[in-house]
Amino acid sequence: MCEHHHEISNENEKRTLIVIIFTIVAMIAEIAYGYFTNSMALLADGYHMGTHALALGLTYAAYVLTRKLADSELFINGTEKIGTLTAYTSSLFLGLTGIWIIVEAFQRFINPLDIKFNEAILVAIIGLVVNTVCIFIMENKHGTHHHEEKIDAHSEDYNYKAAYYHILADALTSILAIGALVIGKYFQVVYLDALIGILGGLLILRWAVGLLKNTVKILVDMKI
């Protein structure tokens, strides 16, 4: 692995750890406050953040293993595919998240639920703030080289990209939710919440499929 790529991986590892810490702190705060206020919305979002913390944890673990085992003779072609395998696994989680959102949205169409708009909007805003900070931390070239440097698909850090997509997907759902909830609250268009959920789920699925295709090609040594 070239020195420049080492520097990028080390930087991405540090950024991932910072985002994990930030996510865990926000998760604990939401769960604690959810119990204190008996808010199911806050509790649900807190546990949902836990799934993102798990995905980010996989990303960080892959960086640590790749670095620690870099000189190991156990790997014929080096340890680079550890990160790719983690990205593949993370993209599966991302795809399942998209499917879950779509299924939940369809159920809302069939059996509409009473929405506590003020509480739901507050939770969505909290989620958006947390994810915006995380995106800001991860955004700097999120695992790629400088824009003026042309790279191929094999040299891209898909491990970091998968983690970035998880945060981006959560931020997207928060933005869409806030818009739908505000419209629903003031214009009584309740079904819009479910419709936005379906659209968001489809977009997340598209990201997951693209990531799956690229990581599978690398894992099976296919020419890209």
Alpha helix locations (H) across 115-223? 117-138, 158-187, 191-219
29-47 per-position pLDDT tens digit: 878 877 776 665 566 677 7
The residue type at 193: D
CA-to-CA distance for 171 and 179, rounded, in angstroms? 13
Q: Cα-flanking dihedrals φ and ψ of residue 36, to 5°? A: -65, -35
Q: DSSP 3-state assignment of 150? A: coil
CA dihedral 154→157→161→162, nearest 10 degrees, is: 80
CA-to-CA distance for 167 and 19, rounded, in angstroms? 9
162-220 per-position pLDDT tens digit: 888 888 888 887 888 788 778 878 877 767 777 877 887 888 888 889 889 988 988 88
Q: Distance between the two ends of the chain, CA-based, in angstroms?
A: 19
Domain ranges for the chain, please list them: 3-142+154-219
Classify domain 3-142+154-219 at the CATH superfamily level: Cation efflux protein transmembrane domain (1.20.1510.10)
